[in-house]
């Protein structure tokens, strides 16, 4: 019995030396040190030894158990440490990387870029003008007389004297014609400001894209063809649009462009996206371009409205709320 105990102890120590992972270690624990393990069993049998062997047997059993338990605990500690050490350096290349949020341009900026790209392909260059304008460029040179309602302080944001936040991008037409001789072929995107009551299709600040073409023999056919090509390039071949007569002091004749869309109530409807027309001779006179020699056309389209129709956005206010859940869609 005592020899057997000694042998179990030696076997256990030898077995421990061959263990390299925690699963094998657990098997070892069950085999030797568990409730029904060999060492535990031996220990419980010490009580059954004849009285003269009991003391020696007890001491031996306890020593074997202590040795094996200590060796077991030591190995367990070593295995855990090397496991942690491994996992610290372990790089799992199959895991998805941490994404870095780099952001993107606003849907209105995207739209303007897309429009400029289309007009760039059609041979237009890009012009910019100031958002704080004077009455000459915003009204007077555009044939908008002092009596016109657009000049009412309730219809424009005056910032003092004859200075105001431009109410449309048409003053850029004037600035371009003051500086450039025909032929002219430009588009001018930018912000405009009007004290409009805010609703699903109106905002006190929005964006327009203006176009101006001036040359000899320019007719309304050029205008309508360019608008048609632009609308199809932007919306695709399926789009329906119409040109309807209108009035602007700086164009004669004048028209308005509508595109077909589904409105907030789910109703199909025409939505006005902008005005257009043949440059009024009075405008040419104001900038010193010979209106006998040159003709031209212009349009001013609302960028928000073009985008709303394209993406099915039924409320202009969504574009300015900076709600990332909305903006991330574009
Ligand atoms: N400026 C006009 C507006 O804002 C639009 C327009 C531009 C009309 C050019 C005709 C020609 O309503």
CA distance 7 to 13: 10
Residue 167 alpha carbon, nearest atom of ligand 1: 4
Q: How many whole angstroms from 286 Cα to the centroid of ligand 1?
A: 17
CA distance 25 to 323: 56
In this structure, the residue with its CA closest to atom 12 of ligand 1 is 275
Region 129-134 average pLDDT: 98
Residue 178 has pLDDT above 90, yes or no: yes
Q: Is residue 101 included in any domain, yes or no?
A: no
Q: Is residue 306 included in any domain, yes or no?
A: yes
- Between 24-28, 148-152, 180-184, the lowest mean confidence (pLDDT) is in 148-152
CA distance 166 to 211: 16
Residue 255 has pLDDT above 90, yes or no: yes
More confident residue, 18 or 134: 134
Region 52-68 average pLDDT: 86
Q: Which residues line ligand 1 (CB under 6 A)?
A: 168, 170, 248, 251, 254, 274-277, 298-300
Q: Is residue 100 included in any domain, yes or no?
A: no
* pLDDT tier for residue 252 given thresholds of 50, 70 and 90: very high
Shared domain for 81 and 119, answered yes or no, is no
Q: How many whole angstroms from 86 Cα to the centroid of ligand 1?
A: 70
Three-class DSSP category at 305? helix
According to the model, what pLDDT value does residue 233 have?
96
Shared domain for 138 and 241, answered yes or no, is yes
Shared domain for 48 and 196, answered yes or no, is no
Shared domain for 244 and 301, answered yes or no, is yes
The answer to whether the CB of 168 falls within 8 A of the CB of 155 is no
For 313, the domain range is 107-327
Q: In this structure, is the dihedral angle defined by the CA atoms of residues 200, 205, 211 and 214, taken in order, positive or negative?
A: positive
Q: How many whole angstroms from 248 Cα to the centroid of ligand 1?
A: 7
CA distance 299 to 115: 14
Q: Kindly report the CATH number assigned to the domain that includes residue 118.
A: 3.30.930.10
Q: How many whole angstroms from 188 Cα to the centroid of ligand 1?
A: 12
Residue 52 has pLDDT above 90, yes or no: no
pLDDT digits (tens, 9 = 90+) for 189-226: 999 999 999 999 899 999 999 999 999 999 999 999 99
Three-class DSSP category at 117? helix
Residue 263: CB atoms within 10 Å: 13
More confident residue, 251 or 47: 251
Q: Is residue 95 included in any domain, yes or no?
A: no
Q: How many whole angstroms from 85 Cα to the centroid of ligand 1?
A: 71
Task: Give 177: exposed, middle or buried? Use CB within 10 Å, 0-12, 13-18, 19+.
Answer: buried
According to the model, what pLDDT value does residue 88 have?
63
How many domains, in total, are found in the chain?
2
Shared domain for 119 and 176, answered yes or no, is yes
In this structure, the residue with its CA closest to atom 7 of ligand 1 is 300
More confident residue, 163 or 43: 163
Shared domain for 132 and 241, answered yes or no, is yes
Q: Is residue 242 included in any domain, yes or no?
A: yes
- Dmax (CA) for the chain in angstroms is 137
Residue 78 has pLDDT above 90, yes or no: no
Q: What's the whole-number average pLDDT of the chain?
A: 92
């Amino acid at each position: 019995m005592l020899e057997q105990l000694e042998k179990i102890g030696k076997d256990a120590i030898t077995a421990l030396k061959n263990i390299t992972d925690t699963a094998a270690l657990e098997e070892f624990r069950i085999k030797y040190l568990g409730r029904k393990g060999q060492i535990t069993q031996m220990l419980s049998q010490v009580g059954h030894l004849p009285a003269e062997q009991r003391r020696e047997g007890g001491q031996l059993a306890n020593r074997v158990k202590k040795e094996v338990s200590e060796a077991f605990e030591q190995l367990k500690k070593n295995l855990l440490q090397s496991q942690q050490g491994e996992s610290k350096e372990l790089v799992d290349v199959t895991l998805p990387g941490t994404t870095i949020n780099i952001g993107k341009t606003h849907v209105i900026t995207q739209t303007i870029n897309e429009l400029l790209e289309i007009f760039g392909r059609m041979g237009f260059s890009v012009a910019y003008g100031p958002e704080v304008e004077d009455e000459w460029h915003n009204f007077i040179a555009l044939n908008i007389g002092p009596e016109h309602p657009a000049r009412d302080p309730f219809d424009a944001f005056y910032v003092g004297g004859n200075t105001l936040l431009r109410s449309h991008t048409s003053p850029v037409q004037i600035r371009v014609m003051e500086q450039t001789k025909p032929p002219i072929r430009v588009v001018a995107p930018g912000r405009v400001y009007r004290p409009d009551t805010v609703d699903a299709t109106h905002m006190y600040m929005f964006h327009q894209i203006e176009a101006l073409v001036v040359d000899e023999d320019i007719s309304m056919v050029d205008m309508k063809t360019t608008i048609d090509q632009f609308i199809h390039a932007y919306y695709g071949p399926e789009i329906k649009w119409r040109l309807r007569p209108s009035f602007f002091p700086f164009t004669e004749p004048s028209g308005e462009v509508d595109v077909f869309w589904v409105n907030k109530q789910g109703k199909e409807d025409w939505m006005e996206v902008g005005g257009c027309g043949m440059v009024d001779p009075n405008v040419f006179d104001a900038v010193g371009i010979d209106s006998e020699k040159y003709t031209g056309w212009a349009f001013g389209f609302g960028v928000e409205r073009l985008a709303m129709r394209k993406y099915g956005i039924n409320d202009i206010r969504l574009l300015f709320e900076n709600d990332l859940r909305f903006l991330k869609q574009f």
